[in-house]
Amino acid sequence: MSASLALDQVDLRVRLGDVELAHPLLGARLPQPVIVSVGGNSPEHYAAVVRALEAHLAAAPAGSCPDIRGYELNVSCPNVSSGLQIGADPAASAAVVGAVRPLTRRLLLTKLTPNVSDVTAVARAVVAAGSDGVSLVNTFKAMALDRETLRPFLGNRTGGLCGPAIKPIALRMVADVAEALPDVPVVGMGGVMTGLDALEFIACGATAVAVGAANFTAFEAPRRILDELRAELAARGLRTPAAARGLALRA
């Protein structure tokens, strides 16, 4: 699947230094804890969003808003000054983490782009800057063509490839990071469609697994994948997911 997805899923209308919190879910009680995905084009953008959310949470009466446990910094956005993906540059990625880290004591994850030759270099940089863990992989930059005109199908010319097509590469990158940084929590993702896929990410060193594209095939996919993961673990005599962690890594 190749998609151009708007990065406004949490619709914070950000003007620098003046953030308006507009998402309807901010006033809702949700049944599950939430990790907020934050995007931006400069360290100041990310900091402005996190600062505004922290202020909102500090002022909100208990139980009146979602249980926000942390932030995932999506560094796959283009940098306003260089135009390059922030996440392709270890120093630029670290600068984003460095701007946000002093603003919150909540969990801070950084979502890494796979569009790099060495994902471990960016992982090391963001962890050194204070990221509690890393999520990977984001989407692969890709193109799709209109079959008749042979012109780019996506309005933005390129989009992000996700889904089952990227799983083998995502597994390798998760394993690279887990081997390079064995003590760092890793959220593995990229084409998780079944419980076996989830188990493979855990075996490659993931401490948690995220499901994206599968939600588009069925809204109840995450629940099914969880049930399948339990069965896959049981079939191998593994009592917990932790028992499977790292089985695919070099000793």
Partner 1 sequence: MNDGSPEGHTHAELWAETVHGRVAGMRHFGAFSELEIVAPRIAAKAVPGQFVMVTVPGGGFLLRRPLSLFAVRSDRVALLIEARGPGSERLTGLETGDAVDLAGPLGSAFPVSGVASALLVGGGIGCAPLQFLSEELVRAGAQVTAAFGFRDFRAARAAGAFAMERLWVATEDGSVGRRGTVIDILAGLDLPPQTVVYACGPTAMIAAVQRWSLAAGLRGYASLEAHMACGSGSCHGCVVDTARGKLRVCSEGPVFALDEVLP
Please give the residue ranges that form the binding site for partner 1 (CB under 8 A): 1, 3-6, 8-9, 29-32, 147, 163-164, 213, 215-220, 223
Contact, 140 vs 169, CB < 8 A?
yes
User: In terms of DSSP bridges, do strands 140-142 and 159-161 run parallel, antiparallel, or are they unpaired?
Assistant: antiparallel
Q: Cα separation of 232 and 227, whole Å?
A: 9
Asked if residue 192 lies in contact with residue 200, where contact means CB atoms within 8 angstroms, the answer is no
Q: What is the CA radius of gyration of the chain?
A: 18
Please identify which of the residues 65, 77, 162, 204 carries the catalytic annotation: 77
Closest CA to 61 of 29, 35, 32, 38: 29
Quote the DSSP letter at residue 103: G
Cα 186 to Cα 105: distance, rounded to the nearest angstrom:
19
Nearer to partner 1, 134 or 225 (CB): 225
Q: Name the minimum Å distance from CB 163 to partner 1.
A: 5
Question: Do 163 and 1 meet the contact criterion of CB atoms below 8 Å apart?
Answer: yes
Of 223 and 236, nearer to partner 1 (C-beta) is 223
Nearer to partner 1 by C-beta: 177 or 209?
Answer: 209
Beta-ladder partners of 142? 159
**Cis ω before 137 (30° cut-off from 0):** yes
Q: Which helix (H) or strand (E) holds 167?
A: helix 167-180
77 is annotated as an active-site residue: yes
Number of Cβ atoms within 10 Å of the Cβ of 109: 24
Residues 133/97, Cβ–Cβ less than 8 Å: no
| Residues catalogued as catalytic | 77
